[in-house]
Structure 1
Amino acid sequence: MNKTVGSTLLVSGTMIGAGMLAMPLTSAGIGFTFTLVLLIVLWALLTCTALLFVEVYQTAEADAGIGTLAAQYFGRFGRVVATAVLLIFLYALLSAYVTGGGSILASTLPTIIDDNITSKVAIGLFTLFFGSFIIIGTRSVDGINRLLFFIMLATFIFVLFLMLPKVTMNNLMAMPIDNALLLSASPIFFTSFGFHGSIPSLNNYLQGNVKALRFSILTGSTITLVFYIIWQLSTHGVLSQTLFLQILQEDPTLNGLVNASLQITGSPILAQAVKIFSALALITSFLGVSLGLFECTEDLFKRSFNRYIGRFGLGFLTFLPPLLFAFFYPKGFVLALSYAGQMFAFYAVVLPVALVWKARQVHPNLPYRVIGGTPMLIIVLVLGVAITLIPFITRAGYLPQVAG
């Protein structure tokens, strides 16, 4: 039961991070009502696909990574494709967390030579300190995540206590400045429910207990949805759409969100509370995604030279690419999330549908099956492919860009 609680908090903590903090940045032009609809639809879709992974894991060893799972049903080609997509997705997502975490930490440090150097030092310190928990092991991640999650929850309640009295109905009733923004924002909102990369780690941690893993996913994702709805209610209700968009155009980072809170409400206490909450949300997500990426790297090399490079070597492979991205694109927070959303659509929708389709043919009498049968698989697949195509359509100029 203790591990189940820890896994539930890891599911929720992984999601409540960069995606949640990017929501006000990307939904400022959409309005609360349409944002609410988008949240519920994507939550239902991605909780369903996470449960598809649970169904497939009934047929594999508890310590099997996604590459191993794909190889079981689609051979070497399946392993290569699944591992490549997962790596790109997790590296992009981790790049967003490192960039966002460095941005917040840099704002608290004294200037070192210039802002650029300060930013790089902050990014390095953030990654080095919290990355060390990943290298130590899953138990250490569970411990620090529980502590940070409950501090984050207390901070969130305090933020709501300050923000909710300032909510106005006029702000909540704001309509989209462009209806097409709903489509443009969906890949980033999609990523906000992105804990799927951590499922292999959680399954291994829970020793293949299907009931516990299913409970963790359902409970953790529902907690997250409630967080998201209240967070959007607060930000949309307090922040005037026009002024919020103007501030974000000047600084499309988490610092921009904090500055927007300060300028619009005039409350430095609220701005500091938002900054603390943002930092904690980023750290818990950083831990969950880093753990998933570390396990994926370990699964990739476990048959070759894991014993030679050890956990420190795997840590180096895990954190170096996101660090390089953050150094060269210090304001690439939303950019990294958009690329992560693109890869995530394949990994979290197309891949589990394909695996379940094959698994049901090989194992027709599995104890646990996700409801909906073949029609549900087809609907999920169509939605996943559509979301994958949205960034291409946006870059081609047929859909508007979101703020940032």
Structure 2
Amino acid sequence: MRATSLASSASPAALERSPSVLGGAMIIGGTIVGAGMFSLPVVMSGLWFHGSVAVLLFAWFCTLHSGLMILEANLNYHEGASFSTITRDLLGRTWNRLNGLSIVFVLYTLTYAYISASGSVIHHTAQAMGVELSARAAGLAFTVLVAFTVWLSTSAVSRMTTLVFGAKILAFFLTFGGLLGHVQPAMLLNSGAGDHRYWPYFLVTLPFCLTSFGFHGNVPSLMKHYGKDPRRIRACLVGGTLIALGLYLVWMLCSMGNIPREAFKDIARQGGNIDVLISALGSRLDSANVDLLLTFFSNFAVACSFLGVTLGLFDYLADVLKFDDRPAGRLKTAAVTFLPPMLCGFLWPEGFLHAIGFAGLAATVWAVITPALLARASRIRFKSPRYRVWGGTPMIALVLLFGVACAVSHLLYTLDLLPVWR
């Protein structure tokens, strides 16, 4: 990506406390890659492999640049200025309230999605071990464990996330190393008889792709780490999003190269949850080792995403509701954070795909539309002297168009007005 940076290097004090660029990229990559990746082959089976690659590249390009637009605006404020502070100052209180509501909605929806996903994954894992455990009970029990970890402290979440993320990366390479050896080119190219229409299913994939590249709340946090150093922060965003894109493309190759397109209809009819997809891959490959590795990876992926999302929601609600950081205050925050999505998880345990889609609808506001508006307002008020995203007004227009297309697509999907591969 080409960008114009007019900033001088960060101060020695800022650099001294800064983590490496690789560390920042891993934070972004770890935030993006989670259980949401399991929804991608199911919702993109209509487009199939070649269409999925094209749409993922387009979504990566647009979401990366919306993140860079947050950076552009953020650099005009003090280190530690929150997304809310910047939005309120540049776009006004009304838009900031709308933006705040969209953030809360997305984080609550993702928390519910991960409760649903964790129950599904743990249920599948328990079955493989010969233990009978319902998805509802598994999801609620795991949520209580996550809630306890978040209640303890941010450092407890950090230590747990580091451990789980390391295990997730190891499981990823072990799992997909085995799957790649079983990829069938004819299946990947859908060269047999059947439906060869692909692009009618394009619009329905957009909200899911947007949700799968969510990292935007981390941009102000990176500036706290690196100081006002746009080159290094930009390198973190580009590197982290490329890591995620690469992992997604490998996952699409492995899943669509091992499961025929027609079989995804049945997976979607069963709810499209993680355990269904893992079972389908295991049965196609007839490999206990691959099935076991997929099960381990899915557990780590859900745990990592679950911890990151709920910590963000916990901190945001604590700030908005002014709950203190003592144990009693953190207990109140934990209750507000976890009880509503736990209730939804108990009532609707199979809602993973629907929840991810609704999160994509709300994420269009704070992850795509708001950043584009912030960049435009920042250039008018400050002239963006430290850093400016390349592409000028056309780039802002493209990002806005992507956000609007995602929102409209989800509304049409909800009204059953879009063709779906089912």
The TM-score with structure 1 as length reference comes to 0.90
Q: Paired residue for 1:227?
A: 247
Q: Paired residue for 2:184?
A: 168
Q: Paired residue for 2:277?
A: 257
Q: Is the 8 A contact 2:51 2:198 kept in 1?
A: no
The separation in 1 between residues aligned to 2:330 and 2:83, in whole angstroms, is 19
Structure 1 vs Structure 2 CA RMSD? 2.5
SS at match of 1:238: coil
The separation in 2 between residues aligned to 1:53 and 1:141, in whole angstroms, is 26
Q: Is the 8 A contact 2:378 2:384 kept in 1?
A: no
**Residue 344 (structure 1) aligned with residue 363 (structure 2):** yes
Q: CA deviation at 1:129?
A: 2.0
Q: CA deviation at 1:321?
A: 2.2
Alignment of structure 1 residues 282-297 onto 2, 5 Å: 282-297=302-317
Q: Is the 8 A contact 2:33 2:212 kept in 1?
A: yes
1:72 to 64, 84, 89: 89
Unpaired runs of at least 5, structure 2: 1-17
1:240 to 227, 246, 260: 260
Q: CA deviation at 1:191?
A: 0.8
The one-character-per-residue Cα deviations of 1:47-106 (angstroms, maximum 9, x if unpaired) are 110111111111233333322222112332132111111111111122111210121112
Q: Is the 8 A contact 2:265 2:421 kept in 1?
A: no
The one-character-per-residue Cα deviations of 1:257-310 (angstroms, maximum 9, x if unpaired) are 1110122111122112111111111222222222322232233234xx546863
> Which 10-residue stretch deviates more, 250-259 or 340-349?
250-259
> Which 10-residue stretch deviates more, 176-185 or 326-335?
176-185
**Residue 311 (structure 1) aligned with residue 330 (structure 2):** yes
The separation in 2 between residues aligned to 1:295 and 1:61, in whole angstroms, is 20
Q: Paired residue for 1:105?
A: 122
Q: Paired residue for 1:23?
A: 40
Q: Is the 8 A contact 2:87 2:374 kept in 1?
A: yes
SS at match of 2:202: helix
The separation in 2 between residues aligned to 1:63 and 1:298, in whole angstroms, is 17
The one-character-per-residue Cα deviations of 1:291-347 (angstroms, maximum 9, x if unpaired) are 322232233234xx5468633322222222221221111000001001001011121
The separation in 1 between residues aligned to 2:152 and 2:21, in whole angstroms, is 20
Alignment of structure 1 residues 265-276 onto 2, 5 Å: 265-276=285-296
The separation in 1 between residues aligned to 2:389 and 2:284, in whole angstroms, is 46
The separation in 2 between residues aligned to 1:215 and 1:68, in whole angstroms, is 24
The one-character-per-residue Cα deviations of 1:237-271 (angstroms, maximum 9, x if unpaired) are 11112223324423521110111012211112211
1:331 to 350, 365, 377: 350
Q: Paired residue for 2:6?
A: none
Q: Is the 8 A contact 1:65 1:296 kept in 2?
A: no
Q: Is the 8 A contact 2:34 2:305 kept in 1?
A: yes
The separation in 2 between residues aligned to 1:51 and 1:164, in whole angstroms, is 34
Alignment of structure 1 residues 1-400 onto 2, 5 Å: 1-2=18-19, 4-109=21-126, 118-174=134-190, 177-204=197-224, 206=226, 210-302=230-322, 305-306=323-324, 310-400=329-419
Q: CA deviation at 1:177?
A: 4.5
AA in 2 matched with 1:252:
G
Q: CA deviation at 1:39?
A: 0.7
SS at match of 1:244: helix
> Which 10-residue stretch deviates more, 201-210 or 171-180?
201-210
AA in 2 matched with 1:373:
G
Kindly tell me the number of residue pairs found equivalent between the two proteins.
Answer: 398
The separation in 2 between residues aligned to 1:207 and 1:329, in whole angstroms, is 44
Q: Is the 8 A contact 1:4 1:206 kept in 2?
A: no
AA in 2 matched with 1:268:
A
Shift of the 104–182 alpha-carbon distance from structure 1 to 2, 3 Å rule, reads same
The TM-score with structure 2 as length reference comes to 0.87
The separation in 2 between residues aligned to 1:128 and 1:210, in whole angstroms, is 39
Unpaired runs of at least 5, structure 1: none
Shift of the 255–307 alpha-carbon distance from structure 1 to 2, 3 Å rule, reads closer
AA in 1 matched with 2:83:
I
Shift of the 137–369 alpha-carbon distance from structure 1 to 2, 3 Å rule, reads farther
Q: Is the 8 A contact 1:240 1:264 kept in 2?
A: no
Q: CA deviation at 1:139?
A: 3.8
The separation in 1 between residues aligned to 2:164 and 2:196, in whole angstroms, is 35
The separation in 2 between residues aligned to 1:299 and 1:61, in whole angstroms, is 18
Q: Paired residue for 2:9?
A: none
> Which 10-residue stretch deviates more, 276-285 or 4-13?
4-13
SS at match of 2:134: helix
The separation in 2 between residues aligned to 1:341 and 1:278, in whole angstroms, is 21
TM superposition outliers: structure 1 runs of 4+ over 6 Å: none
> Which 10-residue stretch deviates more, 65-74 or 42-51?
65-74
